[in-house]
Amino acid sequence: MTDVKITRALLSVSDKAGLADLGRALARHGVELVSTGGTAKALRDEGLEVRDISDLTGFPEMMDGRVKTLHPKVHGGLLAVRDDAAHMAAAADHAIGMIDLVIVNLYPFAQTVAKGAERDEVIENIDIGGPSMVRSAAKNHAFVAIVTDPADYGALIAEMDAKAGATSLELRRRLAATAFSATAAYDATIASWFAFADQGQAFPPALSVPLSKGAELRYGENPHQSAALYLPTGPAARGIAQAEQVQGKELSYNNYNDADAALELVSEFRDGPPTVVIVKHANPCGVASADTLIEAYEAALACDSVSAFGGIIAVNRPLDGPTAEAISGIFTEVVAAPAADEAARAVFAKKKNLRLLITGDLPDPARPGLTMKTIAGGMLVQSRDNGRVTRDMLKVVTKRQPTSQELEDCLFAWTVAKHVKSNAIVYAKGGSTAGVGAGQMNRLESARIAAWKAKDAADKANWAEPRTIGSAVASDAFFPFADGLLAAVEAGATAVIQPGGSIRDAEVIAAADEAGLAMVFTGMRHFRH
């Protein structure tokens, strides 16, 4: 069986977009329209002749509409194999007519949850009859066309016009694949709601993650890899994936990954002063807060102007013209901002390859959620690292108490270190990173690299000394030996913030006391792999 002429269509939709045009197109081809409740009314309001589903089944819609299409005269008409004599004989014996086309989109479950509806309303928006019809029609796609997305109405109409009211097997196969994806995502959304929102489970026995493809990307991390962006189908925090791209060429896999890292870090400062984050290969290479956005950018850039070339920038304030002019001074891949004024947009318009992303409200860094990482043969799932440290949570473990400024620098460095690949060492002074050491196999090397970067930055800027002099240093995990701490002392740090918890804490504290450092423990680590 290839082409199938459509003589009867069953329509039952929550989303009425495009319904009128579709109904008129079907009527033009002489298709009998069978429909339910609100869909039937909408079609009749357009002057179309519609047969009620109750007339087809011989049973009224009942139980507040919960039961209307769950009937053999519906599913028999969908599932009958047309070239099977026994199937057609059974259909004839029970007066079951064939249904050649089903137009269904499902109750708006995700939208109902998103608007904060009460539990009873959420439950009522679990569609039963719709997914049943979709699955029946999709299974029997050799004979039945199933359309679940209004975006496919045009393709259906075009094919019927080209084939005198018939559909091809190729189209029906494609529509069936779309239909099964739709019901799978729908059920996954419901399962997720039950597990997380209704039952409060952290890790349910089966994890369903409903996603829909947002875009295919040019390639993955490397040109020989393929990639795509998928978006959650249910309620989710807005982020880089939902940002509006104002200009610039298509975003790559690495652009998305780096821009996400930048946005997540700058969001830590969403209630703070103007802050700029510069990221390269998912690691911050410069972060600064200041009285103005342009001052913050200049301070962040000065931390590591070499790595900033070709980097990703995120800011926590609407982007203004002067800051955009400063950013345009070097090659930048992506800039993400909550908003951008006309002056900033005009500046960037001259840089045709620069991508400007408007994010709207920054995501809440303290929000709950899960992170996932594939491994060979499985997937690792954990809660988001939304841990945060405040001054009153810090424990001073050295003889010398930190000054107020040192505490401020400690907390700034700690916030940045949370977003640096482990082993992470971050020096900070006066609301700006001085040096960042990321991703080394031991903490000592990270401390040395961060200090070397600070010295290099000072040489390039013709400063009298590197900004590590008088800085605070953050370590994302405890110092297992005193050597990493001593490297920080050598770099000029005067205060240290670290989790503590090493069997050699006493040795490290003694080294800090001997050097005259102030050191605080957070009791929390931030490994980031």
Report the C-alpha gap between 91 and 77 in whole angstroms: 8
Catalytic site includes residue 139: yes
Q: Encode pLDDT of 298-344 as tens digits.
A: 999 999 999 999 999 999 999 999 999 999 999 999 999 999 999 99
| Residue 372, strand partner residues | 381
The pLDDT, as a whole number, for residue 52 is 87
The residue behind tokens 């005067």 is 494
Task: Please determine, for residue 277, whether its predicted confidence score (pLDDT) is greater than 90.
Answer: yes
Pairing of strands 101-105, 51-52: unpaired
Identify the active-site residue in 87, 139, 163, 351.
139
Map residue 274 onto helix, strand or coil.
coil
Q: Encode pLDDT of 42-75 as tens digits.
A: 999 999 999 988 877 777 776 776 776 778 888 8
Residue 196 half-sphere exposure toward CB, CA atoms < 13 A: 19
Report the C-alpha gap between 232 and 372 in whole angstroms: 14
Among 53-57, 179-183, 221-225, the minimum mean pLDDT is found in: 53-57
Identify the active-site residue in 281, 419, 455, 529.
281
| Residue 426, strand partner residues | 436, 474
Q: Encode pLDDT of 461-518 as tens digits.
A: 999 999 999 999 999 999 999 999 999 999 999 999 999 999 999 999 999 999 999 9
The pLDDT, as a whole number, for residue 60 is 73
- pLDDT tier, 7 (very low <50, low <70, confident <90, very high otherwise): very high
Q: Which of 490, 498, 492, 484 is nearest to 527 (CA)?
A: 498
Task: Please determine, for residue 234, whether its predicted confidence score (pLDDT) is greater than 80.
Answer: no
- pLDDT tier, 438 (very low <50, low <70, confident <90, very high otherwise): very high
User: What share of the chain in percent tops pLDDT 90?
Assistant: 83
Helical (H) or strand (E) element with 275: strand 275-280
Q: Encode pLDDT of 156-169 as tens digits.
A: 999 999 999 999 99
Among 13-17, 292-296, 321-325, the minimum mean pLDDT is found in: 13-17
Task: Please determine, for residue 295, whether its predicted confidence score (pLDDT) is greater than 80.
Answer: yes
CB-CB contact of 395 with 295 (8 Å)? no
Task: Please determine, for residue 193, whether its predicted confidence score (pLDDT) is greater than 80.
Answer: yes
Report the C-alpha gap between 78 and 1 in whole angstroms: 16
- pLDDT tier, 36 (very low <50, low <70, confident <90, very high otherwise): confident
Catalytic site includes residue 281: yes
Return the structure tokens found at 293.
């956005």
The pLDDT, as a whole number, for residue 54 is 80
Average the pLDDT over 267-274 and give the result.
Answer: 96
Average pLDDT, the chain: 93
- pLDDT tier, 1 (very low <50, low <70, confident <90, very high otherwise): low
Amino acid sitting at position 135: R
CB-CB contact of 261 with 418 (8 Å)? no
Pairing of strands 518-521, 495-498: parallel
Helical (H) or strand (E) element with 204: none
